[in-house]
Structure 1
Amino acid sequence: MPHVTVSINGRDHVIGCGEGEEDRVRQLAAFVDKRATELVDGGMKVPDARLMMMTALMIADELATAYEELDAARAGGGSDGEANDGRAREIADRLEALAERMESFSSTG
């Protein structure tokens, strides 16, 4: 099993992953590090474990919101299909922007 060393909040962590998943793990770690840095730069002074929990909750909230909006757009198929198509496109655009941000973290880090 391959191992990848990633840095989050200035601390190195060795993570096991599947063969060929090393770059993806680095990308995800860079995304988590960026979000943790936002909390720390905002004045948050908490132990690492609590910082990681809060970071995970922030990311989970964003993901849950995206899923809720996507489900609502899919469920709203009634008579206003054009409006629903626009809403689905808006959600897709937001998810693409999030993916691009994650990609940029991996290419700059």
Structure 2
Amino acid sequence: MAHVTVTIGGRAYRMACDDGQEEHLVGLGEEVDARIDQLRAAFGEIGDQRLSVMAAITIADELSEARRRIRALEQEAASERAARGAASQRLDQTEAQLAGTVISAAERLERLARELGPSPSGGVGMG
């Protein structure tokens, strides 16, 4: 297990993380620290604990909104997949109908050709 030190609100915190996750954890700490700095600039010195709670709430709000958007996008993607499936089915049905029409037309042409008999220039050699 790896250990890193993250600095948030001017205080250093030693934290454990899975091997290979050190850079990610440091980056998350930097994001939280930046959020606290933004809140401190907006509200002044209102206490570290209150700033931390406000930062956590604003981050949780962003996470909630991101989850809502993900759900909406997943629903939209599911609708698109369903529409694509329905369109594919209609295309298959149209192709089958078209194939049936072509076969029917070919059979009628063959029947007409048989009824008309051999062509005058076909079959018998001239020469």
Q: TM-score, length-normalised on structure 2?
A: 0.55
CA 45–78 in structure 1, closer or farther in 2 if over 3 Å, else same? same
CA distance in 2 between partners of 1:77 and 1:3 (Å): 40
Number of equivalences: 81
Q: Deviations over 1:2-43 (max 9, x none)?
A: 221111111111111111211111010011111111000112
CA distance in 1 between partners of 2:78 and 2:16 (Å): 46
Partner of 2:24: 24
**Fraction of identical pairs, as percent:** 36
CA distance in 2 between partners of 1:73 and 1:47 (Å): 39
CA distance in 1 between partners of 2:66 and 2:50 (Å): 24
One-letter code of the match for 2:73?
A
Partner of 1:96: none
Partner of 2:60: 60
Q: Deviations over 1:38-92 (max 9, x none)?
A: 00011242222221121111111011101112212332468788xxxxxxxxxxx
Q: Larger relative CO (CA 8 A, sep 6+): 1 or 2? A: 1
CA distance in 2 between partners of 1:3 and 1:55 (Å): 24
Q: SS in structure 2 opposite 1:45? A: coil
One-letter code of the match for 1:30?
E
CA distance in 2 between partners of 1:40 and 1:68 (Å): 28
Higher gyration radius (CA): 2
Aligned Cα root-mean-square deviation (Å) = 2.1
CA distance in 1 between partners of 2:78 and 2:4 (Å): 48
